[in-house]
Amino acid sequence: MATVKRYKKEDFETYCLGATVSMEYLNIRPQNVSRVFLHSAFHESETKDKIAKICEKHGIPVEVNDKVFSILSQKENCYVIAMVRKYRCELDPSASHVVLVNPSNAGNAGTIIRSAVGFGVPNIAIIRPAVDFFDPKVIRASMGALSRLNFKYYDSWKEYIENNNKEERHLYPFMLDGSKLLHEVVIEKPFSLIMGNEATGLPSAFAEVGQPVRIDHGDGIDSLNLPIATSIGLYEATKGSWSKE
């Protein structure tokens, strides 16, 4: 019988709440899934079969245990929980990146991860202090896309840039007073889109590190929300570079 506790940052394990999110980890990183809990009210037989198959193949224990759900989940609709051993990733130093400077909100981080993976920029650098990307709220908001992401924490901007192909990299800090409009800038690869904290934005010193850009909008709002600004940057930087056809 497993004992589980609500997530704390210092834990060695985290977890995926819900079938969709759990399936992403089972498909993409089965080697990191330590066990799967099912709720006794879980009756989607197709998903159940898929989970059983993957777990059997990788030797992952599966357990029906309703008590785990009452401890780990506040949502009524959560019937699958995958426990995930934390892992370390490296960024691809020659690839394009998103750099988040002091991001603080878990839901925002998850939404940004989903967009970064969706737009084919699955490398995110995080400058501390910052939200914990292994927080189950981040994983859930990412819809499991965290499993497809390379992410790495740095103590400073300097530490990041010294280790990530500084010579070749094109740097675009997003700032409310950026000197160029995003849609008028040609974003060259490999790029780093650099985004500040939700409340305070980027420190003004970032205007010196690259080409500061701003997203054109009216003055009915102070700023766009952070995942929106990040995703618009990713859209603009990658559009036309692929097609599903």
Using the rule CB under 8 A, give the single segment among 95-103, 114-122, 130-138, 162-170 that binds a copy of itself.
Answer: 114-122
Closer CB to a copy of itself, residue 161 or residue 185? 185
CA-to-CA separations, 2 to 36, 62, 64, 84, 204, in angstroms, rounded: 11, 11, 11, 14, 50
User: Does position 235 bind a copy of itself by CB under 8 A?
Assistant: yes
208 alpha-carbon distance from chain centroid: 27
In degrees rounded to 5, what are phi and psi of residue 244? -75, -10
DSSP string, 56-108: HHHT--EEE-HHHHHHH---TT--EEEEEE-------TTS-EEEEES---HHH
- Closest contact distance (angstroms) between CB of 123 and a copy of itself is 12
Task: Give the footprint of a copy of itself on residues 138-197 (CB under 8 A).
Answer: 143, 145, 148, 181-183
The single residue among 37, 79, 119, 172 that binds a copy of itself, judged by CB under 8 A, is: 119
Evaluate whether 95 touches 89 at the Cβ level (below 8 Å).
no
The single residue among 103, 136, 201, 227 that binds a copy of itself, judged by CB under 8 A, is: 227
- Closest contact distance (angstroms) between CB of 121 and a copy of itself is 9
Using the rule CB under 8 A, give the single segment among 72-80, 95-103, 113-121, 125-133 that binds a copy of itself.
Answer: 113-121
Among the listed residues 125, 104, 39, the one whose alpha carbon sits nearest the alpha carbon of residue 78? 39
DSSP string, 177-218: T-SEEGGGS--PSSEEEEE-BTTTBS-GGGGGTS--EE----
Report how many residues bind a copy of itself under the rule CB under 8 A: 38
Closer CB to a copy of itself, residue 65 or residue 231? 231
- Within 8 A by CB and 6+ apart from 147, the residues are 24, 25, 27, 28, 29
Closer CB to a copy of itself, residue 119 or residue 206? 119
User: Does position 238 bind a copy of itself by CB under 8 A?
Assistant: yes
The single residue among 117, 127, 161, 237 that binds a copy of itself, judged by CB under 8 A, is: 117
Distance CA 63, CA 26 (A): 15
In degrees rounded to 5, what are phi and psi of residue 214? -130, 155
User: Does position 96 bind a copy of itself by CB under 8 A?
Assistant: no
Using the rule CB under 8 A, give the single segment among 46-54, 67-75, 93-101, 208-216 that binds a copy of itself.
Answer: 208-216
- Closest contact distance (angstroms) between CB of 31 and a copy of itself is 19
Evaluate whether 38 touches 64 at the Cβ level (below 8 Å).
yes
Contact footprint for a copy of itself (CB under 8 A): 107, 111, 114-115, 117-120, 122, 143, 145, 148, 181-183, 214-222, 224-225, 227-228, 231-232, 235, 238-244
